[in-house]
Structure 1
Amino acid sequence: MTGDVSGLRIAIVNWRDPWHPAAGGAERYAWELARRFAARGAAVTYVTARAPGQRRRETVEGVAFARMGGTFTVYPRVLAWLLARRRRFDAVIDCQNGIPFFTPWVLPRGVPVFCSIFHVHDDQFGLYFPRWLAWIGRTLEGPVARRAYRRHACTAISVTTLDALRERLSWTGPVYLVPVGVTLPETPPAQPAPADPGTDAPAAGGSGERDALAPGGAAGRDMPAPGGTGEGGALAPGGTGNGVAAVGGLAGRGDPELVCVTRLVPHKQVERILDLAEYLRVRRPGVRVGVVGRGPEEERLAALVRERGLGDVVTLHGFVSEEAKAALVARADLHLSASRGEGWGLCVAEAAALGVPTVAYDVDGLRDAVRDGVTGWLAAPGDALAATVERALKELDDPVRRAAIRDACREWAAEFDWARSADRMGALLAAAVRRGTSGTSDSAAHVLAGYGAGTLVAEGPLRDRLVTEPGVAVLRPATARERLLGRALDDDGGR
């Protein structure tokens, strides 16, 4: 793919950086792209908010960090910073975490901007803000953003995020797919000793001293801590940083173990995991359910565990190390998600990489990350999880079926790789800089032939550039799955 970013000056603007105490999947995504672009010769500046104790300026793995402002003041501060440096960058990735930065307002018209959207937040504003502020959030995310980026393009991480942009935000401009990656474990994780149920202490290796980072913002060993908050840890490959929800006993042996890796925030609906535990303790005595991750819901959930007498079934682990997380997930029978919507589901993909299927709701993002009946099971959003979990456990009781699901999970997770994600975004950036725009007249993705060996799925300015080269031809529109994977599948497009 023609994704040579060497020599390009790229600004990545995000609400937080991956070491921010409230970092999440969007921060992990932005960082994985940034560090790879820098390694490939680009001059990358990551512009973001500054948490207490973080340095205003530093360089990590070749990426220059510029931190300024807080939760809301970061927006005007970043715009002012970019306005003063408006001719310094060749392209900008503007990350929308509910509200974008509106960088086209302060940049020259010829600087391509990609509005990178992890998921659509419209319904979530009402969960966290009063009605008037939620209305402002929805207005900025929808009609104001549509106008601000009308000459530019968006990138989405999943098919349902793309669909939500079209259907819920009435986005009419081009949207391209650049999915998240998964780091596959090089060696099987060691199995930790079972944790005592009913505690909220972190499992082996957990710090227990800080809020867990949101999915994808984890601490681990392949990314050095940049001297920020001083709370310890570096980001881990493929990690979510929520810590781990885990249980006792090895998967496939004895009583079932269920694991849920998540932030403890309202839209994750972790109380439904407690409902499930209450149901299963009667139907499958000996079941163990764990929930790990921290957030504003932590104390309320701990109180619910005590009030409902679930201390012998449910373990609240808090934050744990990346190594402990992988080990705890790997030994579980099932990974669980009760979220009402995601952009993709990093935790789901990382569990799949360990051969562990997921039961989740059939909602945005999760219906992309979970292949129903193949790498997990999807429940109707209004239903309890119990019936779907029972069906899943019955299928997993069959060793042959269990092995097939495990292999399918690993095969599916292997389709997603951070290097390939950087290739795809880099190709879009390079083509946009060359053409002077991130936009296109045809926002569909197409299967091309005649470029290199075999076929290629391309969209946006990359496709527009390639079709002008001798011998390159458009074969057909790409299917949704081909667009997600970035490659042509069999004759039916892998439907």
Structure 2
Amino acid sequence: MEREARKLNIAIVSEFHVAGLAGGGERRIYELSRRLVARGHRVTWICMCQPGKGDFEGIHVLPLGSLVKSPPQRSLNNFASYSLRLFWHLCRTKYDIVDAQTYSPLLISYFASLFSRTPMLGTVHDVRTSSGNDFHQMDPLARAIESVVLRIPARALITVSQFTRNALVSRYKRSPDQVHVVSNAVTTEIISRSPLPHKERELIFVGRLVPGKGIQHFIDLCDTLECRGAIIGQGPLLAQIEQECSRRPHIEFIGRLENYADVIGEMKQSKVLVLPSSREGFGLVLAEAAAAGIPTVAYSAGGVAEVIVDKVTGFLVEPGDSAGLAVAARTALEPENCKRMGDSAQRHVAHNFSWDRSVVELEGLYRKYALP
């Protein structure tokens, strides 16, 4: 009972924080961290130095290393300076538990834990696919690092979907007892507060502008269906995608939106969200769209099938099947299907994905593995 009542000093280590790069992984850390703080724990979010605010909502943000000017693009100097300072900090600072995200934070945190004796867990958001350009930077090196990192003998691994857990057990020979699923979820209060505007467009894409997200498939889809689309995101392909959209008046390039509520508002102006990604541990944006009552169409990659109920809340398409993507999107846009699937999606997400439930599960794992 005393152990359950003890407040923990927690370090969560990642490359970026949500103010600098609002991807699904960063949003997950933010939602869980603020709930851990509300439950009385001290949370330090350690990340690369990047534009954006410092401490917020009780979360202590500790930026380390040289400045990353345009996340997610990092230089070798960014990696080196961050890694060295992260290692030094974790060796010198006492935490009850360290939760390191893949990839470079997990590798460095593991070596630091050997010196500090601080218990370390690893959080794995996804794993590579068997083919395709999954990584957006230094792909061959990144693949080699992934192969090493996912075999690190951390005390336990946390992941976001059953699919990724199964891959860690079967492909990387992790013990099933040491791989735990703490699902992603949605922030329903923000989504429900966002107004319900008239649907201005048919399709929307929300995600990082990297090769693995299949953004070109979305552009081609809008061309094929001759429908209005919008693109929200940032990343190394930004200039290329913006140029592509400039030649297509039916596709609006929005780019990065600072405010999460604005992203949800743009979703609600769209009839269907499309995610033609080749690699997804979960696909948080699919759950967010579903919570807003928007049907989703996606390639059945990774944990996506745990978010979309095929032909009920949206459509799952064989990865890379652009013709099948067009058929699914056209079907989802039919008014009767759009309404039925949107309503089903809302019910499905409300019943299955809750940050409040996930934080209790995460807190239990932290207590299980933390210093006594």
Task: Give the TM-score range, shorter chain.
Answer: 0.7 to 0.9
TM-superposed CA distance for 1:63, in Å, is: 2.4
Contact 1:10 1:90 in 2 (8 A): yes
- SS for the counterpart of 1:66 is strand
C-alpha distance in structure 2 between counterparts of 1:68 and 1:351, whole Å: 34
Aligned pair count reads: 352
Q: Residue in 2 aligned with 1:314?
A: 251
Q: Is the 8 A contact 1:26 1:97 kept in 2?
A: no
Q: Which residue of 2 is the match for residue 65 of structure 1?
A: 61
What amino acid sits opposite 1:16 in the alignment?
A: F
Aligned partner of 1:296 in structure 2 is 236
2:195 — aligned with what? 190
1:154 match: secondary structure: strand
1:368 is matched with which residue? 306
Structure 1 residues 147 and 372 mapped into 2: Cα distance closer, same or farther (>3 Å)? same
Richer in helix (by share): 2
Residue 7 of structure 2 corresponds to which residue in structure 1? 7
Residue 345 of structure 2 corresponds to 409
**Is 2:150–2:172's contact at 8 Å kept on the other side of the alignment?**
no
- In structure 1, the residue matched to 2:74 is none
SS for the counterpart of 1:317 is strand
Aligned equivalents of 2:305 and 2:3: distance in 1? 29
Q: Deviations over 1:280-329 (max 9, x none)?
A: 12xxxxx321222232222222333345xx31x21112234444432332
Paired residue for 1:231?
A: none
Contact 1:102-1:145 at 8 Å conserved across structures:
no
Contact 1:99–1:141 (Cα < 8 Å) also in 2: no
> Cα distance 1:269–1:429, how it changes in 2: closer, same or farther (>3 A)?
same
Closer/same/farther in 2, CA of residues 63 and 127 from structure 1, 3 Å limit:
closer
Against the structure 1 CA distance between its residues 318 and 110, is the aligned structure 2 distance closer, same or farther, given a 3 Å change threshold? closer
Evaluate the alpha carbon distance shift between residue 346 and residue 329 of structure 1 in structure 2; reply closer, same or farther with a 3 A threshold: same
CA deviation after TM superposition for structure 1 residue 10, in Å: 1.3
Deviation at 1:189, TM superposition (A): 3.1
- Structure 1 residue 342 corresponds to structure 2 residue 310: no
Query: In structure 2, how many angstroms separate the alpha carbons of the residues matched to 1:105 and 1:418?
Result: 31
Q: 2:5 and 2:43 mapped to 1: Cα distance? A: 10
Give the counterpart letter for 2:342 in structure 1: R
Provide closer, same or farther for how the CA distance between residues 4 and 305 of structure 1 changes in structure 2, counting only shifts above 3 A. same
Report the TM-score, using the length of structure 1 for normalisation. Answer: 0.65
Whether the aligned pair in 2 keeps the contact of 1:259 and 1:290 (CA below 8 Å) is yes
Q: Is 1:266 aligned with 2:211?
A: yes
Give unpaired runs (5+ residues) of structure 2.
67-77
Matched, 1:113 2:51: no
Residues 426 and 276 of structure 1: is their aligned pair in 2 closer, same or farther, counting only changes over 3 Å? same
TM-score normalized by structure 2? 0.84
Amino acid at match of 2:331: R
Distance 1:403 1:44 in 2: 41
> Residues 27, 129 of structure 1: CA spacing in aligned structure 2 closer, same or farther, 3 A cutoff?
closer
Partner SS for 2:302: coil
RMSD of equivalent CA atoms: 2.9
Q: Report how far residue 102 of structure 1 moved.
A: 3.9
Q: CA deviation at 1:353?
A: 0.3
**Letter of the 1:61 counterpart:** E
1:410-489 correspondence to structure 2 within 5 Å: 410-414=346-350, 415-433=352-370
Whether the aligned pair in 2 keeps the contact of 1:99 and 1:140 (CA below 8 Å) is no
| CA shift digits 1:244-270 (9 cap, x unpaired) | xxx726xxxxxxx11221222221111
Question: What do the CA deviations read for 1:206-259 (whole angstroms, capped 9, x no partner)?
Answer: xxxxxxxxxxxxxxxxxxxxxxxxxxxxxxxxxxxxxxxxx726xxxxxxx112
| 2:96 paired with 1:90 | yes
Q: Which secondary structure does the structure 2 equivalent of 1:32 belong to?
A: helix
Give the residue type in structure 1 aligned to 2:43: V
Counterparts of 2:148 and 2:103, CA distance in 1: 16
Q: State which drifts further: 102-111 or 67-76.
A: 102-111
